[in-house]
């Protein structure tokens, strides 16, 4: 019994151990699928290819792998063309799969970084016998780092464009692709604007595609009228085509052709101008020469000259009639051509229409063009009224002055009529007009001068400065056309600046002695002045000392400024009253330097027994006080 129980116990343990081996889970190997990209730098304006590599880095195979690429709504201008959806039944462990996606980037897409959305779903094994659906969404970064714009350009020209008047001619227009890429759905049309030329057949031509630097012929049949003048003509070729993306392009070309022969018989009439040089703004007499250059006589010759330019008109001789012209016979007719004064200098054309009969009584018509050249312009005499000068009756002008402003006008060129002058001043300046602001000067002959006068009053509180006004001149020129002139007149107002001495007292000094003059200087005026300096003027009576001048600086009106200067009475000076001169220098509002003098009566006495010659190094009490208050040096 004990053996049986032991055997059963061993059997249970063995079964339990076997069950433990079957339940061992597979190792954790997430993530299983690794995705890498190459060639993510794209070029705008062309198709690009991005390489994607899928690698199973797990320990077991994956199944039913589906890869989808899409463009987010926030990424405009980028389109997926091909290879953006892939399906793989199985990817073994350690194996890789590669696929390519075609991406088109619009040429107008700004350079920069963008993203694509990649979604991958697959079945992966999580443990023995157990599989689970795995889904992953990634943002794939791409960079638009350059732009490639293809050139689309066509050309059109006639192949051997030599035609005959009075016959049907074969026209071959060569269409060439001058661009960088193939063009598609080519649709071209040739038309004529000449009344002598008409496209009979093949006016429209279509072609499926045309590679770069290749060409194709557009054939057409063109009829040229028998009356067509020999010369060069143009046809219009319109070409419409598309690029690979379906975008439509439109181009229009001028195709030149030459009509160098005719089926007409020999009778021909040559029309030419003797001297085609014209002058704008004048009537130009010219000579039109008619010559029969054919082999037979002409009769009932009629020639008409017409100008298509709005600047040129045929005044006289625009229609010429001649009864007969023998071979090689010519006649000269006088024609008057008027050219507008505003005609630009350059080359113009006149159209001629000729009709005549040959010796067989057959009627003929010809048309041709004559070239004329406008080389110069006849300049007429124009009326101009200018302001020659202006001045004030007093100078300088100061606040409170009454003055007269005189504006001198001069008439140039031709006569002027109804001349008027008006003056406008800013009322905020303080300068007022004391007379009418509009003055009539009447008629002015060429070269005549006239004056317009205005009375002005300057307010007493006007600051020094320059005050502009506007002088407006109106008149009628010699042709009766109204004209006007505006000029700026500037009134310069200078401030009132006058100096005087106060608190000077009685000054007495002995012969041969030095004296300190202490007084107050007062500015009586309307403006402050700068850089004021006062000094003693030396003469035969008074001599300067080391302290005979003093710098004061800025001085305001009605603000007494104390000062001290020293002077000495020369030896041998007569006793009595003498005049001491003080010189004041300053700069005004225009930084112009001015000099004023003040005179002071000094009583010269006999020398005292004990002369007070002491000179304070600080310049006296007043100088010390001014320096203490920061009002001076």
Q: In this structure, are residues 544 and 536 in contact, taking their beta carbons and an 8 Å threshold?
A: yes
pLDDT exceeds 90 at position 428: no
Give 621's pLDDT tier (boundaries 50, 70, 90). low
What pLDDT is recorded for position 624? Answer: 58
Give per-residue pLDDT as tens, 130-154: 677 888 888 899 999 888 777 788 9
Domain identity same for 369 and 391? no
Work out the percent of the chain whose per-residue pLDDT is above 90: 38
pLDDT exceeds 90 at position 171: yes
What are the strands of the beta sheet with 162-165, ordered from one edge? 162-165, 248-262, 231-242, 183-192, 204-210
pLDDT exceeds 70 at position 341: yes
What pLDDT is recorded for position 5? Answer: 39
What pLDDT is recorded for position 240? Answer: 95
pLDDT exceeds 60 at position 539: yes
Q: How far is CA 236 from CA 158, 192, 201, 366, 482, in A?
A: 11, 6, 15, 24, 48
Q: In this structure, are residues 325 and 306 in contact, taking their beta carbons and an 8 Å threshold?
A: no
* Cα dihedral across residues 336, 342, 344, 349: positive or negative: negative
Q: How far is CA 529 from CA 3, 284, 563, in A?
A: 137, 71, 16
Give 626's pLDDT tier (boundaries 50, 70, 90). low
Token look-up 């007062």 returns 522
Pairing of strands 183-192, 231-242: antiparallel
The domain boundary, picked from 338, 362, 377, lies at 377
For residue 25, tell me if it sits in a domain: no
pLDDT exceeds 70 at position 327: yes
For residue 45, tell me if it sits in a domain: yes
pLDDT exceeds 60 at position 362: yes
Domain identity same for 223 and 292? no
For residue 15, tell me if it sits in a domain: no
What pLDDT is recorded for position 631? Answer: 56
The residues with which 493 forms a beta bridge, in sequence order, are: 397, 465
Domain identity same for 512 and 616? yes
Work out the percent of the chain whose per-residue pLDDT is above 70: 89
For residue 323, tell me if it sits in a domain: yes
- Highest-scoring range by mean pLDDT, 8-12, 55-59, 564-568, 607-611: 564-568
Give per-residue pLDDT as tens, 243-276: 888 889 999 999 999 988 876 555 578 888 888 8
- Give the mean pLDDT of 532-548: 91
Domain identity same for 515 and 618? yes
What pLDDT is recorded for position 203? Answer: 93
Among the listed ranges 19-28, 153-162, 320-329, 495-504, which one has the minimum average pLDDT value?
19-28
Give 628's pLDDT tier (boundaries 50, 70, 90). low
Q: In this structure, are residues 238 and 333 in contact, taking their beta carbons and an 8 Å threshold?
A: no
The domain boundary, picked from 467, 493, 519, lies at 493
Domain identity same for 416 and 316? no
Give 26's pLDDT tier (boundaries 50, 70, 90). very low
What pLDDT is recorded for position 27? Answer: 44
Give 64's pLDDT tier (boundaries 50, 70, 90). confident
Give 15's pLDDT tier (boundaries 50, 70, 90). very low
- How far out from the chain centre does Cα 15 lie? 97
Please list, in sequence order, all residues whose beta carbon lies within 8 angstroms of the beta carbon of residue 335, skipping any fewer than 6 positions away. 285, 286, 287, 288, 305, 314, 316, 317, 318
Domain identity same for 250 and 318? no
* Cα dihedral across residues 253, 258, 263, 268: positive or negative: positive
- Give the mean pLDDT of 575-592: 91
Pairing of strands 162-165, 248-262: parallel
- CB burial of 485-496 (b: ≥16 within 10 Å; e: otherwise) equals eeeebebebbbb
Token look-up 């659906």 returns 133
For residue 121, tell me if it sits in a domain: yes
For residue 8, tell me if it sits in a domain: no
- Look at residues 514, 493, 604 and name the one whose alpha carbon lies nearest to residue 566: 514
Domain identity same for 257 and 188? yes
Number of structural domains found in the chain:
5
Give 128's pLDDT tier (boundaries 50, 70, 90). low
- Give the mean pLDDT of 421-429: 89
What pLDDT is recorded for position 44? Answer: 86
pLDDT exceeds 70 at position 3: no
pLDDT exceeds 70 at position 447: yes
What pLDDT is recorded for position 612? Answer: 46
Domain identity same for 422 and 508? no
- CB burial of 270-294 (b: ≥16 within 10 Å; e: otherwise) equals ebebeebebbbbbebebebebbbeb
Q: How far is CA 339 from CA 369, 374, 517, in A?
A: 18, 8, 88
Q: How far is CA 30 from CA 113, 125, 570, in A?
A: 30, 10, 118
What pLDDT is recorded for position 364? Answer: 74
For the chain, the average pLDDT equals 84
State how far the Cα of 250 lies from the Cα of 189, in Å rounded to an integer. Answer: 12
What pLDDT is recorded for position 19? Answer: 34
Q: Which residue has the higher pLDDT, 50 or 62?
A: 50
Q: How far is CA 214 from CA 28, 180, 181, 183, 237, in A?
A: 64, 11, 10, 10, 18
- Give the mean pLDDT of 449-461: 91
For residue 26, tell me if it sits in a domain: no
- Give the mean pLDDT of 348-359: 85
Element (H, E) at 626: helix 620-628
Domain identity same for 447 and 329? no
What pLDDT is recorded for position 566? Answer: 93
State how far the Cα of 167 lies from the Cα of 384, in Å rounded to an integer. Answer: 63
Domain identity same for 295 and 356? yes
What is the extent of the structural domain holding 219? 154-262
CB atoms under 10 Å from CB of 96, counted, come to 13
Q: Using CA atoms of 557, 558, 560, 566 in order, give the dihedral in degrees to the nearest 10.
A: 50
State how far the Cα of 583 lies from the Cα of 569, in Å rounded to an integer. Answer: 18
| Helix, strand and coil in the chain, % to nearest 5 | 5, 60, 35
- Give the mean pLDDT of 156-184: 89
Among the listed ranges 18-27, 43-52, 578-587, which one has the minimum average pLDDT value?
18-27
State how far the Cα of 237 lies from the Cα of 171, in Å rounded to an integer. Answer: 12
Please list, in sequence order, all residues whose beta carbon lies within 8 angstroms of the beta carbon of residue 390, skipping any fewer than 6 positions away. 405, 406, 407, 408, 471, 489
Give 16's pLDDT tier (boundaries 50, 70, 90). very low
State how far the Cα of 569 lies from the Cα of 118, in Å rounded to an integer. Answer: 110
Query: Residue 333: which CATH number?
Result: 2.60.40.10
What pLDDT is recorded for position 25? Answer: 36
Q: In this structure, are residues 356 and 298 in contact, taking their beta carbons and an 8 Å threshold?
A: yes
- Highest-scoring range by mean pLDDT, 12-21, 57-66, 387-396: 387-396
pLDDT exceeds 60 at position 360: yes
The domain boundary, picked from 465, 493, 521, lies at 493
What pLDDT is recorded for position 366? Answer: 78
For residue 445, tell me if it sits in a domain: yes
User: What 3-state class would DSSP assign to 627?
Assistant: helix
Domain identity same for 257 and 275? no
Domain identity same for 504 and 611? yes
What pLDDT is recorded for position 625? Answer: 62
């Amino acid at each position: 019994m004990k053996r049986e129980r032991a055997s059963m116990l061993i059997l249970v343990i063995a079964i339990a151990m076997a069950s433990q081996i079957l339940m061992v889970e597979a190792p954790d190997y997430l993530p299983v699928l690794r995705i890498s990209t190459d060639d993510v730098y794209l070029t705008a304006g062309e198709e690009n290819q991005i390489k994607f590599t899928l690698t199973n880095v797990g320990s077991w195979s994956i199944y039913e792998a589906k890869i989808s690429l899409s463009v987010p709504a926030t990424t405009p201008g980028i389109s997926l063309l091909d290879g953006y959806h892939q399906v793989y039944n199985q990817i073994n462990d350690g194996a890789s799969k590669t696929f390519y996606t075609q991406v088109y980037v619009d040429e107008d897409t700004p350079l920069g970084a963008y993203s694509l959305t990649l979604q991958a779903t697959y079945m992966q094994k999580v443990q023995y016998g157990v599989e689970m659906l795995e889904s992953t969404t990634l943002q794939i970064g791409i960079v638009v780092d350059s732009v490639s714009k293809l050139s689309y350009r066509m050309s059109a020209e006639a192949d051997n464009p030599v035609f005959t008047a009075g016959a049907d001619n074969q026209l071959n227009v060569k269409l060439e692709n001058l661009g960088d890429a193939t063009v598609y759905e080519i649709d071209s049309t040739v038309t004529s604007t000449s009344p002598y030329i008409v496209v009979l057949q093949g006016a429209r031509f279509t072609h499926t595609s045309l590679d770069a630097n290749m060409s194709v012929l557009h054939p057409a049949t063109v009829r040229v009228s028998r009356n067509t003048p020999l010369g060069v003509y143009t046809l219009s070729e319109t070409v419409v085509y598309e690029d690979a993306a379906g975008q439509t392009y439109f181009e229009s070309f001028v195709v030149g052709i030459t009509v160098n022969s005719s089926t007409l018989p020999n009778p021909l009439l040559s029309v030419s101008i003797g001297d085609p040089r014209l002058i704008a703004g004048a009537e130009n007499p010219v000579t039109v020469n008619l010559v029969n250059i054919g082999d037979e006589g002409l009769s009932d010759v009629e020639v008409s000259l017409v100008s298509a330019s709005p600047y040129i008109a045929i005044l006289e001789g625009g229609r010429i009639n001649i009864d007969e012209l023998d071979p090689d016979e010519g006649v000269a007719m006088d024609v008057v051509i008027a050219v507008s004064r505003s005609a630009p200098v350059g080359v113009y054309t006149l159209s001629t229409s000729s009709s005549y009969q040959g010796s067989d009584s057959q009627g003929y018509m010809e048309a041709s063009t004559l070239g004329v050249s406008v080389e110069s312009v006849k300049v007429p005499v124009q009326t101009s009224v200018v302001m020659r000068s202006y001045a004030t009756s007093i100078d300088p002008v100061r606040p409170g002055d009454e003055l007269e402003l005189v504006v001198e006008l001069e008439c140039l060129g031709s006569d002027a009529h109804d001349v008027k002058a008006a003056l406008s001043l800013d009322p905020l300046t303080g300068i007022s007009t004391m007379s009418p602001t509009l003055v009539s000067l009447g008629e002015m002959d060429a070269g005549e001068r006239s004056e317009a006068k205005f009375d002005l009053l300057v307010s007493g509180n006007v600051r020094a400065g320059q005050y502009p006004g506007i002088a407006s001149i109106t008149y009628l020129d010699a042709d009766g056309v109204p004209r006007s002139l505006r000029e700026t007149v500037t009134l310069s107002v200078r401030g009132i600046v006058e100096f005087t001495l106060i608190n000077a007292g009685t000054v007495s000094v002995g012969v041969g002695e030095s004296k300190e003059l202490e007084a107050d200087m007062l500015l009586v005026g309307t403006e402050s002045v700068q850089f004021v300096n006062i000094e003693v003027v030396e003469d035969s009576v008074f001599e300067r000392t080391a302290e005979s001048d003093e710098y004061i600086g800025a001085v305001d009106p009605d603000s007494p400024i104390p000062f001290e200067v020293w002077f000495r009475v020369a030896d041998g000076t007569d006793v009595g009253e003498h005049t001491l001169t003080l010189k004041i220098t300053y700069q005004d509002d225009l930084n112009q330097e001015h000099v004023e003098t003040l005179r002071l009566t000094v009583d010269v006495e006999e020398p005292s027994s004990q002369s007070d010659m002491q000179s304070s190094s600080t310049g006296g009490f007043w100088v010390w006080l001014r320096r203490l208050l920061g009002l001076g040096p």
